[in-house]
Chain A
């Protein structure tokens, strides 16, 4: 009988054995510390940092190593990166699977709110006291600050100074929409001499570009306030006419078909190679430009504001695209070390050096010399921020999925001539109300 059963059970046992046989090698050699789960083991605190910006992974890892040395190996910061628009989904997956990160980058108030029950009040951190006024707003829910701004970014029309000068245009003399339109026409009339394909390479094939562009016109509607745009129940396109005017202008002088112009073509191919004079982009393209042509950002790059509110009031949209939140659901030791790491990253000398150096951030903290910042455009932005001359990143506060599912497709329809501007405004406004 016993023999019978043992033969009977063989296939049953064989299968799991075979399956697990393949996996044992990896798991036994690295007990616990092999994965990125936050926790404490053998006196070493592991803090997992959920990063949504793939372009800074290497620098963050370097910071993590530096901090590990700083704490004599007692704290291990691991970096998990999920980016390119899939970051929020990746973060949600981490939470719903129970493998919560200790530190997480959150984009905008809707995301901060989603995790608000799991986040600590950051006002107790040292770094909080050093922030530029107003930068904490985008991480604040019900008057409680829940996130530290990662850095500051800004966007507008990025232009090629050299091409402008060759065409005889002084960028500093552009003080209104009409000046801007005139400059565009001047550039267009000299296309051949300047060796450019077109004036603009607006990426009509990237949803986030349409989203960022819209902030130029929704920021004044929401009084340049992140909180106000987050709480807004509707969007009335009060400054829609300005947006239409701009859209018609660049669409006429853009590389066509505009809907297939993607980021890499617009920036890495046309803009950096002097084939177009302008793109609607932000300062995050500087590291990419530096990789391709180290002198470009230093010598040729400029940033023009968008006249969103009226023909004479131009602003650069700036703010913190991401906030770092600290998870309070984990071990006290992990929470404590997470806070220490953040403070160290932003207030220690090594950390600060990294921020203006390899990370090439525009810091959200006061007390930096504009000259310390990596390139002229970023310096310009830091000055404008300190002086309060920037618009708000209202595009980060739209209802979940609205820009991907509504704004972008509807905007594409207009760019392609498949619907009127009135329909664009109506359809997007309706969906905004519905999805809020």
Chain B
């Protein structure tokens, strides 16, 4: 009797979430899978089977968007975590009030929306950089955003700017939770700061890596707002990331069915990569 009672409570508490998730995630997902098997233009639809999925693998723009997104995510994930951890280590030094000020400053860009960040940086790259280039004659600063290499790095820089502070917060909370006695014991044994970091802090941060890698990976793959505001795919579609490619297919070409197929493939890919990452990093976590 008691067990049953608890089960009922369990369901009563979980039901609202289940309903919400079904309405906003599960049902649209199933509808989306259905749409991906048609040639829907958002209006009329005829069942076409797996045709959309076959077409995908021959779509050069989609493949290059996918490749661009993979490269972007790879670089962004590594740099964000390196910078985020670096900032976290800096602001957890015993600096008094100053460290709070720095934490706030580093976190600030995350409070600004991606669209606005994108436009701010577009101004920096196009106008400020150009100004530096013409004043100093250093060609490194000229023509940013007008070729695909600088377009790529521009996106990376803005995304780093946006995400590093956020990831820093995650690392700070985990760094603060490392028991003082572990570090003290290390000191007694004569470990220097370098050794203390690699041998004690780093392994203790494993759960933080799981979370931060997951957050950055998933976010990097799904970037749309920064992409739209900063480059909008320019020059010539070379900086068009997958999310934007899907949106454009759906709303410029009106190929909703095809766009859905792209989205489903994209979902499977993100799910596969994220789950693999969680599985791998979980194994590194240590229990005390």
Contact = CB atoms under 8 A, between A and B. Distances in A.
B161 interface: no
Contacts of A412: 234-236
B79 interface: no
Given A400-B254, A401-B252, A95 B236 contact: no
Contacts of B16: 11-12, 15-16
Nearest to A404: B252
Interface in B208-257: 233-238, 248-255
Contacts of B248: 401, 404-405
A260 interface: yes
Interface string A412-426: 110010100000000
Contact of A405 (B13, B43, B145, B237): B237
A259 interface: yes
A28 interface: no
A400 B252 contact: yes
Interface residues of A, number: 31
Nearest to A10: B12
A416 B9 contact: no
A435 B253 CA distance: 9
B28 interface: no
A137 B64 CA distance: 40
Nearest to A12: B12
Contacts, number: 76
A245 interface: no
Contacts of A260: 126, 143-146
Contact of B251 (A92, A95, A410): A92
A114 interface: yes
B236 A409 contact: yes
Nearest to B251: A89
A186 B90 CA distance: 60
Chain A interface main SS type: helix
A376 interface: no
Nearest to A256: B143
Interface residues of B, number: 31
Interface in A2-48: 8-9, 11-12, 15-16
Contacts of A435: 253
B70 to A, nearest CB: 20
Interface string A71-91: 000000000000000101100
Contacts of A256: 143
A410 B237 CA distance: 9
A96 B42 contact: yes
B286 interface: no
A257 interface: yes
Contacts of A287: none
B236 A114 contact: no
B12 A8 contact: yes
A11 B43 contact: no
A9 B236 contact: no
A370 interface: no
Given A259-B234, A412-B234, A11 B251 contact: no
A259 B236 CA distance: 9
A92 B255 CA distance: 12
B15 interface: yes
A259 B42 contact: no
A205 interface: yes
A238 B166 CA distance: 55
A116 to B, nearest CB: 11
A95 B43 contact: yes
A205 B9 contact: no
A95 B254 CA distance: 13
A405 B252 contact: yes
A409 B43 contact: no
B243 to A, nearest CB: 15
A427 to B, nearest CB: 11
B11 to A, nearest CB: 9
Contact of A409 (B13, B142, B143, B237): B237
Contacts of A92: 42-43, 251, 254
B99 interface: no
Contacts of B254: 92, 114, 400-401
B51 interface: no
B61 interface: yes
Interface in A181-222: 205
Given A12-B16, A260-B143, A409-B233, 4 more contacts: A8-B9, A259-B235, A260-B145, A405-B248
9 contacts: A12-B15, A16-B16, A92-B251, A96-B42, A257-B146, A409-B238, A412-B236, A416-B146, A416-B236
Interface of B: 8-9, 12-13, 15-16, 41-43, 61, 126, 142-147, 233-238, 248-255
- Those 4 A-B pairs whose CB atoms lie nearest each other, nearest first: A401-B253, A409-B236, A89-B251, A401-B252
